[in-house]
Each structure stands twice: as C-alpha cells, then as structure tokens.
Structure 1
Amino acid sequence: MAMESSLWPSCNYSHNVTFFYNWVGKAISKEWTTRDLVVIGLGVTVCFIVVLSNLMVMIAIFINRRFHFPIYYLLSNMAAADLFAGIAYANLMLNTGPWTRTLTKKQWYIRGALIDISLTASVANLLAVAVERHQTIITMQQHSKMTKRRVLLLITCIWAVSILMGLVPSTFWNCECDLDDCSTVAPLYSRRFLIFWAVLNLLTFLIMVGMYARIFIYVRYQSRYSSRHTSEMRHNQTVVSLMKTISMVLGAFVICWTPGLVTLLLDGLLGKKSHANAFEKFCLVIAECNSLVNPIIYSLRDDEMRTTFKSILCCLCWRGRCQQREPSPVKIESPQPEETLGCVEKSQDQDSYNKDDC
C-alpha cells in the first residue's frame, strides 16, 4: 500500500490562490496604487473600444452582401474572437491587483481560460483563413466555393477546440499535484503545459507565414505571365489587395503575440530563473493591442468596408432617415451594381445622394 501511494503525487486541493502565488514568489499587491488605478482605467477603456470596433466589423459583414463569402465569414469570426478577447481582458483587469486575493481557484481558472480561448480562436481562424486563401488562389479563384453550411461547421469546430484548450489547465494539466512544476507567470498552471502551448502556437505561426509566402510567390509568378486583359488584371489586383490585407492582419498578430508566447516558453523551460514576471505585463499590453489593430487595418485597406462603417454610423446618428439614405458609392474603375450595397438596396437615383448629410 505504501508503494502504491508513492507512485502517485499527493494532491492537496485545499490550497488557495494566494498559496500558489507565494510558492512561486509572485507578489500580490495589498492595496491599490495610483499607477494600478490608471492602468486599469486605461485598460478597461481600450477593452470597451475593442468590443465596439470589432462588433462594427461583424455588423458590416452581415449587412453588406458584397462580403457574403467564406473568407469574410472567417474574418467576421476573427472579429468575434477579438471581441471575446476584449471581454476577457476586461475581466482580467477587474480581477487583478489586490482583488486577486479574493479569487477562488475556480474564478482564477476562468480568468485564465477566457484568455486561452480567445488566443486559440484567433490562431485557429488565421489558420483557416490561410488554408482558404491557399486553396482559392492556387486554383485561380477570387472566393472559395465552400458552402455556408461548411463554413458554419468550420466556425463551430474552431470554437469547440478553443473552449477545449481553455479548459485543459483547470481540468488536469495544472500544478496542484506537483508544486515544483508551477509557473511563475500563471502560478496554478503547469510549466509543461506552457511549453506545449507556446511551441504549438509558434509552430502554427511559422506554418501560416510559410503558406502566405508560397501564395505571394505563386501570385507574382502568375501575374508576370498572365495576359494583359483588363478583366484579368482587375481580378489579380483584387486578389493581391485582399491578400495584403490578410497578411497585415497575420503580421500584426504575430508581432503582438510572439513576445508573450516567448515569455511563456522561457517561463516553462527556466521557471524562476527566467524572471518572466519582470516583463509579463508589458507583453500582455502588446497582446491586448492586437484586438484593436484589426478593425483599423480593415478600415484603411478596404474602401467598401470603410464605406459600410460610415453607413452604420450614419444610421446610428440618423435612424429616422436611414431608410431614405444610402452610403456613397465606392470609387472603382468599373463599378458593378451588385458590388455596392448599404443599409438597404440602392435606388435608381443614387447619384443624387448628398454625402454631406451624414
């Protein structure tokens, strides 16, 4: 019986959150400082802006039929992941500092799970977008022929995997039964889980960067030897423009999240010797900014998205007159009637619309 008990680590689930913080040497402030209040105030404000801006992206894709394609559905789901990240960061801000002492282990795990879910959803969406772009562009198409049912199934799978990964630390991969394996950044998490988590995401980054590099090389090769027909040139320009937008989204994500993932990897490998707590909050701020960058990229890179944003704001400001107003037409070389949509269907006298009213 003694041998059997020695084979299994002793688990004491009665330890509270403060015990694990003290065990790894991560200090919990006892009272609020002016700096803490300023950081929380700015953080919650940024989270509020993140939620509103990504909600606007989702609404724009929903109301504009020009965006009713698989690639934009996936971008809308990415906006949903960023919106979820804004909520997760706000919850983190409101449960940090001296409030950490009042958290139960369940509440602490929920706080961390929300961040894990948002990161997994964003990475999975970027990977799905990369695969979709690779498939469509290699076959010389502008949009995938994937049905809405398959897109919905893919989005459901993304969130299912994200929730599963968020629950892993709280269910079995933590350090409650092995205190020597506790992380210094996330004291209840297992260092081995952090290594797995960081390596998995960094490898996914490399795979996506490789896929986009191959796509750009292929598009450049095809453009060099394609015919000079006007319609084909316009198609290539549209594909390249969309690819540049998505690549900027991917680049911003990699830049914002790589420091945090490297920090987790060093914490998992070196433990206290990594001194990860010294720059943990800095990495968290950079990661939070990523959720705010994507709507800015969409509005700067896509004229149609920017026009739809303006029409949404116009409808919010003039709800009583929104039914009679339409967004200004997008300036393109050969406009097609079905490509410019607003709050409602365009009327025949669109040219008489006065943009100064909004």
Structure 2
Amino acid sequence: LSPISSLPSSTHTSCPEVKVPFPVFFTVGIVSLAENLLVVVAVMRSRNLHSPMYCFMCSLAAFNTIASVTKTWENLMIVLADAGHLERRGPPETDLDDVMDSLLCMSFVGSISSFLAIAVDRYITIFHALRYHNIMTMQRTAAILGLIWTLCAVLAVLMVKFFNFKFIMICFIVFFVVSLAAICFLYVYMFMMARIHAKNIAALPGGGRDKSQHQRRWGSNMRGALTLTILFGAFVVCWAPFFVHLVIITVCPMNPYCECYRSLFELHVVLMMSHALIDPAIYAFRMAELRHTFRKMLFCSDWKFCL
C-alpha cells in the first residue's frame, strides 16, 4: 500500500495494525454502490428532482460511490495477491495503488466540495428566494459541477504525486478546515436567521393566507436545510478519522503514539465507506419527494421508473 495507508517499517510501535476482514469491505462497498446508484437514477428519471440541489446531491452520491468502490477493489486485489492469484510486479503495482489513492482523495475533496455547494445553494434558496431561479440556473449548476470535478481530480493527483512534500499536505488540510468552517458558518447563520424570521412572522397581526403560505414555504426550506445539516454531520463523523490520519502523517510520522492511531487505519476506512451507506438512508427518511421516487422504482408502480 502507499504511504496514505501503510505504516512505516522503520517505526517501532507496540500497537499492531488492526485488520478488518475482507467480507466487511466487500459488503459495505457493494451495498453502498447499489444505494448511491439508486439515488443517481432516481434524480435522472424524475423531472421533479431536476433542480440544482439534487444535482449536487448526485455529485455527492458519485463521490461516495468512488470511495467505496476504490477501497473495495483495492482490498480485493490485496486478498488475491496474498492468495497467490496475482503477481506483485513492483512499479505497475505501485502505479495502480497511486491511482486508487488518488480516487480516494478525490472522493474526500469532492464530498466536502459538494457539501459546500449544497450549503451555498440552500443559503440562496432561503434568503434570496425570489431571485433563486435567476441565480442558480441549470447552466451555472453544470459549470459548478464541472469545476468541482476538475479541481478535485487535479488536487487528488497532486496530493498523491507529491505526497512527501509537506506543502501539499498543508494546503490540503487548510482547504478542508476552511471549507468546514464556511459550511458551519452558513448553517449556523441560516438557523439563527430562521429564529429571528419566525419571531417576526409570529408578531405580524392577524393570520391571513399570505402569512400562512409564507410560514409553510419558510418551514419547508428550513427542513431542507436541517436535512442537509444532518448529512453534513454524518460526513464529518465518518471522514474525520481518515482526515486525522492524514494530519498525523504530516505532523508526527515517526512518533510511536501517532502510529498507534495509524494502526486503526482500516477501521477508519470502513467508517469512511459507511458514509456512502448512511447518506441514501437519510435521503429516504428526510426527503419525501426522493422517498416517493424510490418507492416507484423499487415497486415498479410507474413503468417510467421501473429499474
């Protein structure tokens, strides 16, 4: 394995590397692949889901799928090599492992970028509702997605190619921290303004139709923001151990105590892959329109949605 996942042979530590059985990786990878493909197909087939937010969610599902499939394939090759069915030929194996690590890093950067795009989209939806369709057109959405995928691919290749240069790792860490702070700020600001707005609506005289419609529309937007906050929380919980692993490689690569944490790398990877399992479940539980589309696809209640 590449430096991202392996322990330096020269480091002395009393913590043996924890191994996760391959069937666990394989099961999580296959199930998450099926779930996220279901999300992508649902958004593509349902015209009601053709909106910028769902496009960004499709991007997030695609990045989740890349992470799960990459680690599942890597572990499958390791199992086959250990069983003698694949030959270890040196440079080709290293190049292939670099490609897999690049895809994994691309998924990590792409997920946080997708969450940032979703947070901005929700902000515009709530606070610039009348201008939303002029600001977030599908052409701009496609351009944003193209920019996200291009930048993520370039950053992932640079990170793996120049992994030994601390400057690259520092830039990667700064990007993650700044993106995390920006997303948290947007969501905190949205919920703080929501409380103020709810009080202002409650203080209005009477209970007319306009007031009721405004309350329902605002409540719907805030429920969407809450759902995305839950998704973001799941991302942080599942990816944080892997991110800390990368930080440790930069800060204390040879410290025995740090190596004890790095010995849990495979557990961190399983947790990271589990994020791809959790997201579709949150979609189905929190988003009525997407849940309705899932039901049509799975039970073939509408021939247009049959899988």
TM-score (norm 1): 0.71
- Contact conserved, 1:70 with 1:144, CA < 8 A, in 2? no
Give yes or no for the alignment of 1:107 onto 2:96. yes
Alpha-carbon offset, residue 23 of structure 1: 5.7
Q: Which segments of 5 or more consecutive residues in structure 1 lack a partner in the other structure?
A: 1-15, 28-34, 176-189, 324-341, 345-358
Counterpart of 1:279 in structure 2 is 264
Alpha-carbon offset, residue 141 of structure 1: 5.0
Counterpart of 1:208 (choices 179, 183, 208) is 183
Distance of 1:285 and 1:266 partners within structure 2: 19
Aligned CA distance change for structure 1 residues 125 and 244 (closer, same or farther; 3 Å) = same
Q: How does 1:242-261 map to 2 (within 5 A)?
A: 242-261=224-243
Aligned length: 282
Counterpart of 1:46 (choices 11, 22, 28) is 28
Post-superposition Cα deviations, 1:246-305, rounded to whole Å, max 9, x if no partner, equal 111111111111122122212211111021422222222211111111101000111221
Counterpart of 2:119 in structure 1 is 130
Distance of 2:281 and 2:131 partners within structure 1: 23
Counterpart of 1:338 in structure 2 is none
Give yes or no for the alignment of 1:292 onto 2:257. no
- Structure number with greater Rg is 1
Amino acid in the other structure paired with 2:189:
R
Q: Quote the RMSD (CA, aligned, Å).
A: 2.9
Post-superposition Cα deviations, 1:297-321, rounded to whole Å, max 9, x if no partner, equal 0001112211211110122xx8xxx
Alpha-carbon offset, residue 52 of structure 1: 0.8
Counterpart of 1:169 in structure 2 is 159
- Contact conserved, 2:43 with 2:50, CA < 8 A, in 1? yes
- Runs of 4+ in structure 1 displaced over 6 angstroms? none
Aligned CA distance change for structure 1 residues 147 and 281 (closer, same or farther; 3 Å) = same
Alpha-carbon offset, residue 143 of structure 1: 5.3
Counterpart of 2:15 in structure 1 is none
Question: Which moved further from structure 2: 61-70 or 234-243?
Answer: 61-70
Counterpart of 1:121 in structure 2 is 110
**Which secondary structure state, in structure 2, belongs to the residue aligned with residue 271 of structure 1?**
coil
Counterpart of 2:149 in structure 1 is 159
Alpha-carbon offset, residue 208 of structure 1: 0.7
Distance of 1:98 and 1:191 partners within structure 2: 34
Distance of 1:266 and 1:81 partners within structure 2: 24
Counterpart of 2:287 in structure 1 is 302
Alpha-carbon offset, residue 25 of structure 1: 3.4
- Contact conserved, 2:123 with 2:190, CA < 8 A, in 1? yes
- Contact conserved, 2:124 with 2:132, CA < 8 A, in 1? no
Distance of 1:67 and 1:299 partners within structure 2: 14
TM-score (norm 2): 0.82
Post-superposition Cα deviations, 1:213-269, rounded to whole Å, max 9, x if no partner, equal 001111221122125522111101211111111111111111111122122212211
- Contact conserved, 1:136 with 1:143, CA < 8 A, in 2? yes
Distance of 1:143 and 1:215 partners within structure 2: 16
Alpha-carbon offset, residue 105 of structure 1: 2.1
Amino acid in the other structure paired with 1:107:
L
Alpha-carbon offset, residue 174 of structure 1: 3.4
Amino acid in the other structure paired with 1:231:
Q
Distance of 2:127 and 2:69 partners within structure 1: 37
Distance of 1:68 and 1:60 partners within structure 2: 10
Distance of 2:81 and 2:159 partners within structure 1: 22
**Which secondary structure state, in structure 1, belongs to the residue aligned with residue 299 of structure 2?**
helix
Which structure is higher in helix share?
2
Amino acid in the other structure paired with 1:92:
E
Amino acid in the other structure paired with 2:139:
R
Counterpart of 2:61 (choices 79, 101, 108) is 79
Counterpart of 1:312 in structure 2 is 297
Give yes or no for the alignment of 1:230 onto 2:236. no
- Contact conserved, 1:69 with 1:144, CA < 8 A, in 2? no
- Contact conserved, 2:242 with 2:268, CA < 8 A, in 1? yes
Distance of 2:168 and 2:299 partners within structure 1: 48
- Contact conserved, 1:71 with 1:144, CA < 8 A, in 2? no
Distance of 2:176 and 2:242 partners within structure 1: 11
Alpha-carbon offset, residue 144 of structure 1: 4.5
Distance of 1:299 and 1:158 partners within structure 2: 25
Post-superposition Cα deviations, 1:310-345, rounded to whole Å, max 9, x if no partner, equal 110122xx8xxx43xxxxxxxxxxxxxxxxxx749x
